[in-house]
Amino acid sequence: MKVLSSDLSSSVRSPSDARDSKHPCSCARIAYEDLQPLVAKRDSDLDQTLKTRFKELQSQLGDHKDGDGFRLYTELSKDEVKELSDGVNALSEPLSKLTDTVVG
């Protein structure tokens, strides 16, 4: 999860296209699905937050679909990049607490 969370952040710092965010986001979500029942039991607030924020980021990324792929970051406006960055921050911050909830 640590790796996933830092992947998410770096994908926005030096991206080539929106797929770079979509990929780690999907990976993180799939990995989370395995842990979800445990997290729901130990910290239901965190589980809810993560579910919501995964959904929000997925939906944001969906806005930048272009055929089978995604628009290039260079095609996005400053505001669009900021919005994606906010979405990644919103997910990464609670995601950084996941390890502790699972193994702590």
Residue 86 Cβ, how far from other proteins at the closest point, in Å? Answer: 4
Q: Which two tokens stand for residue 1?
A: 């999860």
Residue 97 Cβ, how far from other proteins at the closest point, in Å? Answer: 6
Q: How far is CA 77 from CA 14, 29, 64, 66, in A?
A: 15, 26, 11, 15
CB of 16 or CB of 52, closer to other proteins? 52
CB of 18 or CB of 88, closer to other proteins? 88
Residue 2 Cβ, how far from other proteins at the closest point, in Å? Answer: 10
Whole-number Å distance between alpha carbons of 33 and 51:
10
CB of 16 or CB of 99, closer to other proteins? 99
Pairing mode, strands 69-70 and 65-66: antiparallel
Interface positions with other proteins (CB under 8 A): 49, 53, 82, 86, 89-94, 96-97, 99-100, 103-104
Whole-number Å distance between alpha carbons of 47 and 33:
10
